[in-house]
Amino acid sequence: MTDGQQQAQPGGPEAQGQPQGVPPQGYGYPPPQQGQPPQGPPQPGYGYPPPAAGPGQVPPPYNQGGYGPPQYPGQVPPPNQPYPGQQPYPGQLVQGRYGAGTFQNGDEPDWTAMADQHETAARKKKRLMLGGIALVCAVALAGIVVVSMNVLGKDDKKNDPIAGPSSSASASGDNSSGSPSPSSSSSGGTKPKSPEDALSRGSSDKAPVSLDTLFPKASLSVDGQTLAKKATEHDDQCGAGTVNGLGTVLENENCRDIYLATYVSDKAAVTVGIVVFDSKSQADRAQAKVVGNIKPLRSDQTPRFCPDLSQCAFSNKAFGRYMVFTTAGNADGSAVTDGTPATKQAAAGVSKQALDDLKARGQAAMTNAG
């Protein structure tokens, strides 16, 4: 039943003991002062967002009286930017005036120094590469030199032999002890006993060796034949003047030189070859192992003799440190047989003449040795 007054509804402000127009009290709101009406808009408290500003009103300062870093109203500070009032840490990249990042506190890298350092490292790398290439080239060159020395070692034997010790000390008779002088017992210091002995070593065979000294005559007379010298050749590679394996035998005994000459008559053509060694022992060993022949030396002034070496006549003979070879064929290129004695006679005569010339050379060496 009503008495004309509206009954208060439970749960309203009056029912809760709070007058109308008074903001509610609770967590985040300060309590109102007793006996004073609320003034102004409610103030924000801890954990409660500030009220929104109305039209024409300035929003309150952000996060007054709260905890934690200040916050921008409605946004997050740009990256790498300090908070208001905070100093940037050393080396921090800060947004510049025109948008470009700048380094603070002078920590910007020294670009010139970095470029110089890069250039220096590049130069050092280049020097190391060039040094490595030079080292490889030096090693390769050294290998070539060693191989060349081994291949050309044969030239060492071309040097003139050293003469044996002098026997003048023993000849003077000044040896007070009466014991034999070492030089008097040396074979190099003794007087040659024969022309062949004089040609047994280079120390006593000192005359020049050449085509002219070994083949001094321009023509030879043999059993009614006149043979004229038509071709000559010299080579310090003994194998160059040989065929059928003779060169290997000669070079194994360190042959020094080979000299060739061809004498021609109307019936025969004979090539004579003289091979030079350092000693008689080498010549004797080579003769004991002889295989093959010297080549027939031809020219535009000689017939084409010995086209087939099996149809030619051959001979060889050692004398001192020399060997004398002959290769003979018929002037018309036919085979040498018992029916063509002129060719065999010519070959024997040319060989004998070469040996006689060597004997004369040895006799002169004996005379010079005194």
Q: Please report the DSSP string for 303-340 in residue order.
A: ----SSGGGSEEEEEEETTEEEEEEEEETTSPPP-TT-
Kindly report, residue by residue over 339-349, the tens digit of the pLDDT.
999 999 999 99
pLDDT value at 269 more than 80: yes
Percent of the chain with pLDDT over 90: 46
- Residue predicted with more confidence, 108 or 193: 193
Whose tokens are 């006996």? That residue is 35
Kindly report, residue by residue over 101-144, the tens digit of the pLDDT.
555 555 566 778 777 787 888 888 888 888 888 888 888 888 78
Distance CA 350, CA 164 (A): 34
Distance CA 292, CA 257 (A): 17
pTM for the full model?
Answer: 0.52
Q: What are phi and psi of 271, to 5 degrees?
A: -100, 125
Any idea which of 75-84, 192-201, 207-216, 285-294 has the lowest mean pLDDT?
Answer: 75-84
Any idea which of 10-24, 240-254, 299-313 has the lowest mean pLDDT?
Answer: 10-24
Q: Please report the DSSP string for 37-64 in residue order.
A: ---SSPPP-TTSPPPPP-TT-PPPPTTT
Write the burial class of residue 239 (CB in 10 Å: 0-12 exposed, 13-18 middle, 19+ buried). middle
pLDDT for 53 equals 54
CA 51-53-54 angle, to 5 degrees, is 125
pLDDT for 248 equals 96
pLDDT value at 66 more than 70: no
- Residue predicted with more confidence, 269 or 162: 269
pLDDT value at 23 more than 80: no
Query: Mean of the per-residue pLDDT values for the chain?
Result: 75
pLDDT value at 83 more than 70: no
In Å, the largest CA–CA distance within the chain is 191
Percent of the chain with pLDDT over 70: 58
Kindly report, residue by residue over 292-335, the tens digit of the pLDDT.
999 999 999 999 999 999 999 999 999 999 999 999 999 999 99
- Residue predicted with more confidence, 54 or 250: 250
- Residue predicted with more confidence, 351 or 91: 351
Q: What are phi and psi of 22, to 5 degrees?
A: -100, 125
Distance CA 121, CA 113 (A): 12
